[in-house]
Amino acid sequence: MANLYSKVHRLKSQGWTWDEFLHQISLIYPPGIDEKTLYGLYRQPHRKASRHIRQVLEQLHDQCFPSPFPDSAEALISLYNRQVNNPRHPDLYAEQQALSTYLQDARQYGPILYRARLFWLSGNIQLDQLGVFRKNGKTQQLETAQQQGIELYQQSLLLLEEAQKSTDIQTDIDAFTFYKLRQNMLACYLNALAPDARSESGPLLEYLKACDFISATRRVLAAEPYQWLLARNGLRFSSLTYNPADCQWFYDALCTANKAFTDLNYSPENTPSIANSIEFRWAIDNVLGKPDP
């Protein structure tokens, strides 16, 4: 899902002045956008943009940081995301089933990066259904979606690794792309579980260790310290694994990403506050809630 705060920061961190940033926007959208709106999106993770402003900024981001995947696959992902993000969608499940059926065939053909992205999209569909199945007590469907999601992401990962090794592929696949894919696999393990069962799941904790998530997240944050969502996930898993040193590290990283997170009740876009999430309870009780020595 698009995190506009991070995209605006990534664009700004190229060394652009605000005037240059606004000029680049005006090249895409001649009337430009209000500079106060742009500052607001830069400063506040909870700040929401209008659909149009989001579209302009995402277009600029994609121009400056092009995806390694073919445009046709990216267009399909965008199309699907618009369906998922439409709260008034009359029958999202039917759309997901239809698209899954199409992808089952489509991902067998075409260039390797195209196929990798279609496997990725197929995994997204399964991941998006986990919360719905879990909340409705559909245990069998939940298990199937989780297993399929992991397998589909795994297939995507294998194709990406193959493409990385291939000398024919000109596009460089960056480390963050691999990180995102592994993060989504981890999400398949996590989101299938009820929140109060997440600290006791063997398969989740095994995969967490196997994918080296904590170290990988630290590396991404060293390069892009404004990625609050990643710092928050690092804190989440440090809390679930009862690791006080990592809890402190990721909490500091979260506050570095934006000082608003010093308030544990702060709730950014699409995310509940840390104080309201049971997964952070251990960190709050044992690390964050304690006064400094």
183 makes contact with other proteins (CB under 8 A): yes
Which two tokens mark 176?
């963050």
Residue 41 identity: L
**What gap in Å lies between CA 132 and CA 189, rounded to an integer?**
15
48 makes contact with other proteins (CB under 8 A): yes
**Phi and psi for 261 in degrees, rounded to 5?**
-75, -5
66 makes contact with other proteins (CB under 8 A): no
**What gap in Å lies between CA 192 and CA 60, rounded to an integer?**
35
Which two tokens mark 125?
């569909």
Polymer length of the chain: 293
184 makes contact with other proteins (CB under 8 A): yes
Interface residue with other proteins among 97, 98, 175, 195 (CB under 8 A) is 195
Cβ of residue 255: shortest distance to other proteins, in angstroms?
19
156 makes contact with other proteins (CB under 8 A): no
Closest to other proteins by CB, 16 or 178:
178
Closest to other proteins by CB, 288 or 291:
288
Interface residue with other proteins among 64, 94, 98, 278 (CB under 8 A) is 278
Give yes or no for a contact between 162 and 112, defined as CB atoms under 8 angstroms apart: yes
Which candidate, 185, 263, 268, 266, places its Cα nearest to that of 227?
Answer: 268
**C-beta atoms surrounding 28 within 10 Å:** 13
**What gap in Å lies between CA 243 and CA 140, rounded to an integer?**
33
> Binding residues for other proteins, how many (CB under 8 A)?
44
Binding to other proteins by CB under 8 A, coded x per residue (else -) over 231-250, reads --x--x--------------
Which two tokens mark 236?
């989440």
Closest to other proteins by CB, 11 or 121:
121
77 makes contact with other proteins (CB under 8 A): yes
- The site for other proteins (CB under 8 A) is made up of 1-2, 31-34, 36-37, 48-53, 77, 81, 87-88, 120, 124, 127-128, 130-131, 135, 179-180, 183-184, 186-187, 190-191, 195, 229, 233, 236, 270-272, 276-279
